[in-house]
Amino acid sequence: MGMTITEKILAAHSGKKTVEPGEIIESTIDLALANDITAPLSLKEFEKVEATKVFDPERVVFVLDHFTPNKDIQSAENCKKIREFALEYGIKYCYEGGECGIEHALLPEEGLVVPGDVVIGADSHTCTYGALGAFSTGVGSTDFTYGMVTGKTWFKVPESIKFICYGKWQKWITGKDLILHIIGMIGVDGALYAAMEYEGEAIHSLSIDSRFTIANMAIEAGAKNGIFPVDKRTLAYVKTRGKRPYKVYKSDRNARYREVIEIDAASIGLKVACPSLPSNVKDVKEIKDVDIDQVVIGSCTNGHLEDLKIVAEVLKGKKIARHIRCIIIPATPKIYREAMRRGYFKIFLDGGCIISPPTCGPCLGGHMGVLAKGERAVATTNRNFIGRMGHPESEVYLAGPAVAAASAIKGRISHPDEVT
Amino acid sequence: MILKGRVWKFGDNIDTDIIIPARYLSYTDPEALKVHCMEPLDPQFHTKAMKGDIIVGGYNFGCGSSREHAPIAILALGIPLVIAKSFARIFYRNAFNKGLALLEADILNKVYEGEEIEVDLTTGVIKCKEGEVKAKPIPAFMEKLINDGGLINYLKKKLRGA
Ligand code: SF4
């Protein structure tokens, strides 16, 4: 029996020739990540175990991206603790200030994740790096502590579900529409504990940015990881950035899958996930007269250059509707700089948008765009749970960049064809 | 081990933003976290829940973010056990790592709010008014982890070379 890419990576990291779904293994890790919300709990545990060092100061990464630039005293105290810890233990990569970006956009861009890696992160969207053919998954602070100290963790080998996408994408469609379509189809626990693997010509035609978006939202279907085959685009991305050697794994033809789902790319329209579950998905054309108060374009899901490019295309020469706050958050300093260089900032500012420094900010109702009672937002983020962006009686509609930009112009949820 | 407690019922897909909203995540103190537990659904939950109570949920309990603040907040209220039809995987790991017991069983429609139920954690047998239900057994690996006193104690012993 053959193995899937996920099984092969896990076997290689646990010193085994083969692994099977359901098997519990001890795996080495190539990188362990925590942020300003999850690291403080983890450092408390670190003290308890009386460890004297981390397993490898170059493979433990802190990104202070959630409540930063520090939104209040408590957040500042947390960041201070992490900074002091990083200095004391010689942590090479601790990102904050002008170097900081949203963790899951930043790490691949910095070349800290490469194909074939096993990565754990004390953040549920750590599954993003599957876009590069790595096995990566979210854990809690205690598991992170264990990984940070020992360089190892335990996993139950997941079953895999394969999504084969064929055909051509329609205009405006990005990875967000595919993943929303899939979550709408299989539900928020449709891939519980499983690996979501992608294949097919339509997948190879997707940009790396779109692949990040798709892998990022694997957790929204309950999955352990999302994973893509490594192709020319992946290698081009990694070759200019990778800080470590990479290894390409490929699923065997006779690998086992719990399910194989075929998707015709051409059948997918622009999607919106209505409150308050990411699986509550509709075609944007089915949504009529939903007025909004705020638009948020950013996050680890859709704060990439591809997203900002699409927003600039839709917004060019236009103004957003009055009374709408449109907050644009480039995900990393490099994306920020490149968007500025390409002239997108002028389009955004002329259009009446706010440009935020890279931060998670409103995505989790932290700061920089929290909603009041009864307010409604369209966001390119990944979660629309009750109260996710602020008041428990506020609402979030999830969409891709084209719908978000068009909605900002119209002041209600709109298709980009209405404004371009 | 036998636990007896009053039931608090919650539905499907109880996400970690409900268990503890993100705006409180800058706190690490369990006492500061517990007063916001389940706040979006019931701001007074922390005043009503009593030590020994049991949370009962539906599908996919604990989905969403990886925040360990969620099991910490539940435990800080003195709630030792959550029974649900299924659990999201990160929450599952976190709960065991923190010492919050979880049992997978479909009892949401078999119990009423406030009812006292009796649960044998070792056998997984849940006794409620409507009769007995057997939960899925806790995986042997998780049981070992609990017996070792949780992941952190296990690691501490390991580092001491014990
Ligand atoms: S952008 Fe949102 S989903 Fe992504 S890491 Fe930050 S808070 Fe989490």
User: For ligand 1, is residue A120 a contact (CB within 6 Å)?
Assistant: no
pLDDT at B140: 84
Q: Compute CA distances A158 → A3, A7, A20, A140, A143, whole Å.
A: 12, 8, 8, 18, 18
User: For ligand 1, is residue A363 a contact (CB within 6 Å)?
Assistant: yes
For the segment(s) A5-263, the CATH number from 1.10.8.60, 3.40.50.300, 1.10.760.10, 3.30.499.10 is 3.30.499.10
Chain segment A171-222, per-residue pLDDT in tens: 999 999 999 999 999 999 999 999 999 999 999 999 999 999 999 999 999 9
Chain segment A88-130, per-residue pLDDT in tens: 999 999 999 999 999 999 999 999 999 999 999 999 999 999 9
Q: Do A49 and B89 touch (CB under 8 A)?
A: no
pLDDT at B152: 92
Which CATH number belongs to the domain containing residue B56 in this structure?
3.20.19.10
Q: Do A142 and B141 touch (CB under 8 A)?
A: no
Q: What is the Cα Rg of chain A in Å? A: 20
SS3 B102: strand
Residues of B in contact with A142 (CB under 8 A): 68, 94, 97-98, 150-152
Say if residue B151's pLDDT is above 70: yes
How does residue A5 score in pLDDT terms, banded at 50, 70 and 90? Answer: very high
d(CA A44, CA A264): 49
Chain segment A356-376, per-residue pLDDT in tens: 999 999 999 999 999 999 999
Asked whether A246 and A115 are in contact (CB, 8 A), the reply is yes
Average pLDDT, chain B: 94
pLDDT at B137: 84
User: For ligand 1, is residue A382 a contact (CB within 6 Å)?
Assistant: yes
Which regions of A51-142 does DSSP assign to beta strands (E)? 60-63, 93-95, 118-121, 135-138
Strands A118-121 and A31-35, by their bridges, are: parallel
Predicted TM-score (pTM) of this structure: 0.97
Q: Write out the CATH class of domain A271-414.
A: alpha beta
Chain segment A384-394, per-residue pLDDT in tens: 999 999 999 99
How does residue B138 score in pLDDT terms, banded at 50, 70 and 90? Answer: confident
Q: If 0-12 CB within 10 Å is exposed, 13-18 middle and 19+ buried, where does residue A44 land? A: middle
Domain span holding position B39: 2-160
Q: Where in chain A is the domain with CATH 3.30.499.10?
A: 5-263, 271-414
Residues of B in contact with A40 (CB under 8 A): 28
Directed axis angle between helix B150-159 and helix B140-147, to 10°? 70
Average pLDDT, chain A: 98
Pick A1 or B46 by higher pLDDT. Answer: B46
Asked whether A134 and A116 are in contact (CB, 8 A), the reply is yes
Residues of B in contact with A78 (CB under 8 A): 26, 28
Q: How far is A110 from chain B (nearest CA, A)?
A: 23
For chain B, give the percent of residues with pLDDT over 90: 84
Q: Do A41 and B88 touch (CB under 8 A)?
A: no
Chain segment A226-265, per-residue pLDDT in tens: 999 999 999 999 999 999 999 999 999 999 999 999 999 9
Domain count of the fold of chain B: 1
Q: What is the Cα Rg of chain B in Å? A: 15
User: For ligand 1, is residue A360 a contact (CB within 6 Å)?
Assistant: yes
Q: Compute CA distances A359 → A32, A56, A65, A271, whole Å.
A: 20, 27, 5, 25
Say if residue A13's pLDDT is above 80: yes
In angstroms, what is the span from residue A364 Cα to ligand 1's centroid? Answer: 7
How does residue B47 score in pLDDT terms, banded at 50, 70 and 90? Answer: very high
In angstroms, what is the span from residue A381 Cα to ligand 1's centroid? Answer: 8
